[in-house]
């Protein structure tokens, strides 16, 4: 569902494109899965996109961008846009010395944010902080009070004295109203807008010529819940089609 934060911004920049969106609601949360599990899941999703003859795939998920992009980037006929690797240049150019990236455990363990940013700006200090409960809050799967869970982690993050806090999961922008109770809102960076701009600029000479474009949504479970919960990010007008990943062959 978090990928809708990117989709909403990309749709505004490229309104005439034809979009296929897949939300893997059955296998969430990704942040607590192994790299092997994520690779198997992502390959099946990419196989599905290949069957649909897409020209580009947007990995609007920090966890898969961190863990499986390098393995898959040259194995499909379409262009792949991974969120972390795409926005690293923008983050590396920020006029700050230290940033903190709250993210899923899988993203944090991969150190992809640190690696990609410090390739371009070795002087920037990048601290990655695992926030496993935050996705569950957004997805409605947490049983703990959300303010308490966020406050505890924000206290830990602020001890690092970061200049900026990069929301390292596409779900996290939903939490900004609560996060901004513990730090100024302008301290937070949502990479989704910058990511969408990078994609739109890169595709400006390869955009659809049709008027209006189209959008088709697929999910692996609970389409009704996806529509109702997803409204915080984007108004999905039609019920998504169910797609069973286990029936898709892996290349």
141-150 confidence digits (pLDDT tens): 666 777 888 9
Residues of the chain with pLDDT under 50: 250-251
Annotated catalytic residue 131: no
Same fold across 4-82+195-247 and 85-191: yes
Catalytic residue among 10, 58, 61, 149: 61
pLDDT of residue 250: 45
pLDDT of residue 251: 44
pLDDT of residue 20: 97
pLDDT of residue 209: 60
**Cα gap 55→249, rounded to integer Å:** 20
**Cα gap 40→180, rounded to integer Å:** 37
Task: Indicate the domain borders of the chain.
Answer: 4-82+195-247, 85-191
pLDDT of residue 235: 93
pLDDT of residue 68: 97
Q: Which CATH class is domain 85-191?
A: alpha beta
CATH 3.40.50.1860 fits 4-82+195-247, yes or no: yes
18-23 and 214-219 as β-strands: parallel, antiparallel, unpaired? parallel
pLDDT of residue 51: 95
Annotated catalytic residue 61: yes
Catalytic residue among 59, 91, 166, 169: 169
pLDDT of residue 210: 59
Of the candidates 141, 67, 63, 68, the one whose C-alpha atom is nearest the C-alpha of residue 103 is 63
Task: Assess contact for 1 and 137: CB atoms under 8 A.
Answer: no
């Amino acid at each position: 569902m978090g990928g809708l934060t990117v989709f909403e911004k990309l749709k505004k920049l490229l309104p005439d494109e034809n979009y296929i969106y897949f939300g893997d609601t059955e296998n969430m949360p990704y942040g607590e899965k192994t790299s092997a599990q994520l690779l198997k899941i992502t390959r099946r999703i990419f196989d599905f996109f290949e069957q649909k003859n897409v020209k580009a795939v947007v990995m609007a998920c920090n966890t898969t961008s961190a863990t499986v992009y390098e393995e898959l980037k040259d194995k499909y006929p379409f262009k792949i846009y991974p969120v972390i690797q795409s926005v690293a240049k923008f983050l590396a150019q920020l006029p700050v010395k230290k940033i903190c990236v709250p993210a899923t455990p899988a993203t944090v363990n991969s150190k992809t944010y640190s690696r990609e940013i410090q390739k371009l700006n070795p002087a920037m200090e990048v601290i990655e902080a695992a926030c496993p409960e935050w996705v569950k809050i957004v997805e409605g799967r947490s049983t703990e009070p959300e303010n308490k869970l966020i406050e505890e982690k924000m206290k830990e993050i602020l001890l690092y004295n970061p200049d900026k806090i990069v929301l390292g999961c596409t779900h996290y922008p939903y939490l900004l109203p609560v996060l901004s109770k513990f730090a100024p809102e302008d301290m937070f960076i949502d990479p989704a807008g910058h990511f969408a701009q990078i994609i739109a600029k890169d595709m400006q000479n390869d955009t659809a010529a049709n008027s209006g474009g189209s959008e088709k949504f697929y999910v692996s479970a609970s389409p009704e819940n996806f529509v109702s919960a997803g409204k915080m990010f984007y108004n999905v007008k039609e019920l998504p089609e169910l797609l069973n990943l286990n029936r898709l062959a892996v290349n």
